[in-house]
Amino acid sequence: MKRTIISGLLLLSLLGCENTDIRDAPVSSPVSTPDATEEVKEEATGAIASDNSGGGLWSQLRQKEGHYFVLMRHALAPGTGDPANFRVDDCATQRNLSAEGREQARRTGEAFKAQGIVVDRVLSSQWCRCLETAQLLDIGEVEEFLPLNSFFRDRSKGPAQTAAIREFMRDIGDSPGVTVMVTHFVTVSAMSDMGVSSGAMVVMRVEKGDRLEVVGEIEAF
């Protein structure tokens, strides 16, 4: 009987230790899983790469497997929008590149050259800050392309302009090459559903079924 009581007390003591261990043990953090919305976004746009040092995106641009479209937001131009007296044919009435913006555009062009990227066409908005950015890149003759113009002031123009850009892309999407398109935040955002800083670039291409895909982003230099 005495042995039975001692055994019972010993068992209760052990159980008490176990309960204390479980209660006091640190709780491990749950393994994080991708949010459902992130999975949907990745499925819709593909894996979005980011690169400004010379990796996968530059390699794809060199190989030219299909046609790549580099949508670049103009280089640094302090401010927002344009003055009330804006005229597209008068740079004095517009928001223009700063000295830092000009250097940024030159650095970006040097990056294209250092990476050995052969650019087939350089298209630009008619806005002076875009044209100057495109010219300072020094990677090809600059052509004005009206659909790349800003619709910041009149958002009703956006759907028609972006539709014209998409049509242009689909028309040449099967031919290997690289086209650089210097434009504005509103245009890059509407085309790619991505927000970019001044001087940054979003790389796009046409996939099967004429579907436009974002390949990745090249950060500003």
In a domain, 18, yes or no: no
Pairing status of strand 142-144 against strand 121-124: parallel
Q: What is the CATH number of the domain that holds 147?
A: 3.40.50.1240
Whether the pLDDT of residue 159 is over 90: the answer is yes
Banded pLDDT at 207 (limits 50, 70, 90):
very high
Q: What does the pLDDT average to over 168-186?
A: 97
Q: Please report the DSSP string for 95-156 in residue order.
A: ----HHHHHHHHHHHHHHHHTTPPPSEEEE-SSHHHHHHHHHH-SS-EEE-GGGS--SS-GG
pLDDT in tens, 65-88: 889 999 999 999 999 989 999 999
Domain assignment of residue 200, given as a range = 47-218
* Per-residue pLDDT, 173: 95
pLDDT one-digit tens code per residue, 89-101: 999 999 999 999 9
* 203 domain residue, yes or no: yes
Q: Are 85 and 194 in contact (CB under 8 A)?
A: no
Q: Is 19 a domain residue?
A: no
Residue 17, strand partner residues: none
Q: How many domains does the chain have?
A: 1
- Whether residue 141 is contained in a domain is answered as yes
Report if residue 126 sits inside a domain: yes
pLDDT tens digits for range 6-20 = 344 333 343 344 443
Residue 40 lies in a domain: no
Q: What global pTM score does this model have?
A: 0.77
pLDDT at 166 over 50: yes
Is residue 158 included in any domain, yes or no? yes
